[in-house]
Amino acid sequence: MSSIQTIQFTRHPHAWHALAEGIGLRPHGEPSDTWSEFDGDGMLAVHGVDPGDPLAGTAEIWMLVRDDSQLDALEARLSDEGIAVTRGEMEGIGATLAIAVDADATIHAAVGSARAPEGDVTIEPLIFTPDVEGASRVLAAVGLQLRITSDSDGWAEFSADGGGSVALHDLGSASNPVADRVGLSFEHRGDLEAVAERLRSRGIESTVVDEAYNRTLRAATPEGPELWVNGAQSDLYGYTAHS
């Protein structure tokens, strides 16, 4: 079993705490300036960094596995399938894997404790890639389950059996210039207008717009780029659901 944890690096951790709770995530323990975790379907970690740190405003995708044997088996499977994987060591974490999704985007794996999914919000980090098909092969190889694809081959969603999702978006069809290849987004199964009201009560501006697949809330973030909270997809016209 594995779960998805997204780490958001920021110089403004308190603003991200308010944003996470306003969206509907539940804090796990007392949030701090350096490291805080929030639970939904998957996990969000807010990592406070110093001013000037180049990681500020960026996100990383981590797949948490149950033990070292599962991590070793994952490394062996990826190597057998010709997928670039680099083993490392992180203080306080132990062994880690850096897995190439394409030539520039990476996801990471480590042993970690998953918590049962809860609430209406799925943490769904987004990878912009020039090769959705190739990146899909990597996500399938790490053990994620294909959930939805677009008929245009420019979008694919994968879920982890222990919670959380990862989405792939064709880099060439992105509506705005993409500064970072990996970004944070969410899927919400509840009332987005209620989410917008909770955010307003915390001093966070947002708008709810209609998209082809459902409604989307776009909220201001401390670093500037909008955060997208997508309503759960109800219209599959142009898409295919996979069981």
**pLDDT tens-digit profile of 117-147?**
999 999 999 999 999 999 999 999 999 999 9
- Which pLDDT belongs to residue 238? 87
- For residues 15 and 12, give the distance between their C-alpha atoms in angstroms, rounded to a whole number: 6
Q: What are the boundaries of each domain within the chain?
A: 2-241
pTM: 0.94
pLDDT band of residue 55 (cuts 50, 70, 90) is: very high
- Which pLDDT belongs to residue 176? 57
- For residues 74 and 201, give the distance between their C-alpha atoms in angstroms, rounded to a whole number: 44
Give me the phi and psi of 85, to 5 degrees please.
-140, 135
Q: Which CATH number fits domain 2-241: 3.30.70.2860, 3.90.1170.50, 3.30.230.10, 3.10.180.10?
A: 3.10.180.10
- What is the percent of the chain with per-residue pLDDT over 70, rounded to a whole number? 96
At 67-113, the pLDDT tens digits run 999 999 999 999 999 999 999 999 999 999 999 999 999 999 999 98
3-state helix, strand, coil in the chain (%, to 5): 20, 40, 40
- Which pLDDT belongs to residue 180? 79
pLDDT band of residue 53 (cuts 50, 70, 90) is: very high
- Which pLDDT belongs to residue 62? 98
- Which pLDDT belongs to residue 66? 95
- The answer to whether the beta carbons of residues 142 and 109 sit under 8 Å apart is yes
- Which pLDDT belongs to residue 114? 84
Q: Is the pLDDT of residue 231 over 60?
A: yes
- For residues 220 and 42, give the distance between their C-alpha atoms in angstroms, rounded to a whole number: 22
What is the pLDDT averaged over residues 16-42?
97
Question: Which residues pair with residue 125 across a beta bridge?
Answer: none
Q: Packing angle between helix 13-23 and helix 192-201, nearest 10 degrees? A: 150
Q: Is the pLDDT of residue 208 over 90?
A: yes
Give the gyration radius of the chain's Cα atoms. Answer: 17
- DSSP 8-state secondary structure symbol assigned to residue 212: S
- Which pLDDT belongs to residue 228? 92
Lowest mean pLDDT among 82-91, 138-147, 178-187, 202-211: 178-187
- DSSP 8-state secondary structure symbol assigned to residue 10: E
